[in-house]
Amino acid sequence: MQKIIILDFGSQTTQLIGRRVRELDTFCEILPYNKYPEDDSDVIGVILSGSPYSVHDPEAFKVDLTRFVGRLPVLGICYGAQFISHTLGGKVEKTDSREYGRANLETIDLTNPLFKGFDRGSQVWMSHGDTITRIPDGFQVIGSTKDVQNAAFWCPGDKLVHCKCSNGQSVWAVQFHPEVYHTLQGTQLLKNFVVDICGSRQEWSAASFVDTTVAELKAQLGQDRVILGLSGGVDSSVAAVLLNKAIGNRLTCIFVDHGMLRKNEFQQVMDDYRVLGLNVIGVDASEKFFADLAGVTEPEQKRKIIGRDFVEVFNQEAKKITDARWLAQGTIYPDRIESLNITGKVIKSHHNVGGLPKEMHLQLCEPLKWLFKDEVRRVGRQLQMPEHLITRHPFPGPGLAVRILGDITREKVRILQDADDIYIRGLREYVDTDGETLYNKVWQAGAVLLSTVRSVGVMGDERTYENPVALRAVTSTDAMTADWAHLPYDFLAKVSNEIINKVRGVNRVCYDISSKPPATIEWE
């Protein structure tokens, strides 16, 4: 299959480049800057990402451009553009001030294939500390802003004298970020590069993924039995339906209830899975989880206990399936990217990444490992799964345990489940002025119980001293960054009133207006 290689130099927006390319129905692979493939026969183009480094830093990441420059179309973005210029004989210098924010391409070569369909003065987004003061010999400027002369430049393949192996493929470079929302025609630029310049046949789609993956699963798994841990979330659910389509009842799913799911969620999810025809074992292990969490208040310790207990419970059930040969997981592409930095060292442990318990002696199957979250949802729709499963908000593995400040008790979980249920039902029922429900307009929402805090209130003629609840709702595309959702005041007023009136133990409701960063989506 055709693919675009994106070499990651450590930019926070590298994943966005990948998502934009995938939205063009083109497969792409994000690789560390130093992991360019030995066999690139299926590669049709290369994109170099931004980076937190300057090209002059001793620790700056470097790649051998001669491996692909001249052989394949290349697009350098921000640091990628500066690295191309610096390496091929141009000049990159420190600026007096960081160039950050919106700018406009006041000069633009609309005849260049990279800028086909662009408007004069098109808005772009800058984010760099260095600037390119001289481009390499043979290159031509094709875009400038008021403050950045060399905002975009290229070298036609027939003038590329910097690489002995050149076969006439051109190089483009832009100092702005076409992948971010604030570059208004960034998608058009990437389309010009990926489709028109690189020649993508745009064959990557949900339908093609389902057909190809089902065939690959049949070949990979044969007649073997597979175990899959379900969470109720969209990733594991789509993985289960794909596997079921490939191997049928040779798939056994295990759904563990740790007691900290949303209100009535365990039974609702079990019912959904049965409707889908999945072979599911439901395990109520809440007694064990509550016992092991008793008195624990430190967030990371809570997470570790829940993770450890989940593995123990899951393994106990999995061992009963004596002829199983594979363990399937709903690992998606961002899980794998976030778990490794560009030097290949682990920087974030993810529950779906890192291998299997040695005592299980199972091989790993990850049918969604190349998909972004929005692609998983498109595959779910292609598989005709219920929409409420596909659009379900992300929910943390430790469940409500990381939405309760302090120690965990059944009573605190009961309070939070009741408050959260009112909040989520309200989001599903409230139709905004554009005809869309609030639930579908936010990325993730949930209630948080501030059980380490007490608040004075008055209910009737009596003084109360009970818990506040904080409501959280964020908008995002990938959870790497998130902004607080601007929910209507009348909705917040109605939900607040209903929670205080109906949930015993709560006398105050707050709304969290923190963005990520600096805050995280979850409170713990």
What is the secondary structure of 327-358 as a DSSP string? EE----HHHHHHTB-TTS-B-S--TT-S---G
pLDDT score recorded for residue 349:
40
Buried b (16+ CB within 10 A) or exposed e, 52-62: ebbbeeeebbe
Q: In terms of pLDDT, which residue wins out, 224 or 517?
A: 224
pLDDT in tens, 254-288: 999 999 999 999 999 999 999 999 999 999 999 99
- With residue 274 as reference, give the H or E element that holds it: helix 265-275
Q: In terms of pLDDT, which residue wins out, 456 or 55?
A: 55
| Residue type at 429 in one-letter notation | E
Q: How far apart are CA 289 and CA 293, in angstroms?
A: 6
What is the arithmetic mean of pLDDT over 489-510?
A: 96
3-state secondary structure of 514: coil
Residue 516 has pLDDT above 80, yes or no: yes
Q: Please, what is the angle between helix 265-275 and helix 234-247, to 10°?
A: 30
- With residue 3 as reference, give the H or E element that holds it: strand 3-8
3-state secondary structure of 244: helix
Q: How far apart are CA 323 and CA 467, in angstroms?
A: 50
pLDDT score recorded for residue 464:
78
The answer to whether residues 64 and 165 touch, using CB atoms and an 8 Å cutoff, is: no
The answer to whether residues 192 and 117 touch, using CB atoms and an 8 Å cutoff, is: yes
pLDDT score recorded for residue 159:
83
pLDDT in tens, 451-464: 988 888 877 667 77
pLDDT score recorded for residue 348:
36
| C-alpha 429 chain-centroid distance | 27
Residue 446 has pLDDT above 70, yes or no: yes
What is the arithmetic mean of pLDDT over 236-259?
A: 95
**Tokens 């506040």 identify what position?**
468
Q: In terms of pLDDT, which residue wins out, 343 or 375?
A: 375
Confidence grade of residue 44 (pLDDT, cut at 50, 70, 90): very high
Residue 56 has pLDDT above 80, yes or no: yes
pLDDT score recorded for residue 123:
96
pLDDT score recorded for residue 338:
54
Tokens linked to 355 = 């291998």
pLDDT score recorded for residue 397:
86
What is the arithmetic mean of pLDDT over 499-507?
A: 94
3-state secondary structure of 199: coil
Per-residue three-class SS string for 406-452: CCCCHHHHHHHHHHHHHHHHHHHHCECCCCCEHHHHCCEEEEEECCC
Residue 509 has pLDDT above 90, yes or no: yes
Tokens linked to 38 = 């030995």
Residues annotated as catalytic (active site), given as ranges: 78, 177, 179
Query: By C-alpha distance, which of 116, 145, 127, 29 is closest to 82?
Result: 127
The answer to whether residues 103 and 123 touch, using CB atoms and an 8 Å cutoff, is: yes
Mean pLDDT is lowest, of 179-183, 412-416, 421-425, for 179-183
What is the arithmetic mean of pLDDT over 422-443?
A: 95
pLDDT in tens, 306-357: 989 998 999 899 889 989 999 999 988 877 765 445 544 333 344 444 444 5
pLDDT score recorded for residue 346:
36
Q: How far apart are CA 12 and CA 337, in angstroms?
A: 11
Residue 248 has pLDDT above 50, yes or no: yes
Q: How far apart are CA 455 and CA 435, in angstroms?
A: 37
300 Cβ contact partners less than 8 Å away, ≥ 6 residues apart:
none
pLDDT score recorded for residue 460:
66
Query: What is the number of helices (H) and of strands (E) in the chain?
Result: 14, 20
* pLDDT, the chain, mean: 90
Pairing of strands 455-459, 462-475: antiparallel
Residue 411 has pLDDT above 80, yes or no: yes
pLDDT score recorded for residue 305:
94
Confidence grade of residue 362 (pLDDT, cut at 50, 70, 90): confident
Phi-psi region of 351 (alpha: psi -120 to 50; beta: other; left: phi over 0): alpha
Confidence grade of residue 360 (pLDDT, cut at 50, 70, 90): low
* CA atoms within 13 Å, Cβ hemisphere of 326: 22
Residue 359 has pLDDT above 80, yes or no: no
Confidence grade of residue 396 (pLDDT, cut at 50, 70, 90): confident
Residue 414 has pLDDT above 80, yes or no: yes
Query: By C-alpha distance, which of 427, 422, 524 is closest to 475?
Result: 427
pLDDT score recorded for residue 479:
64
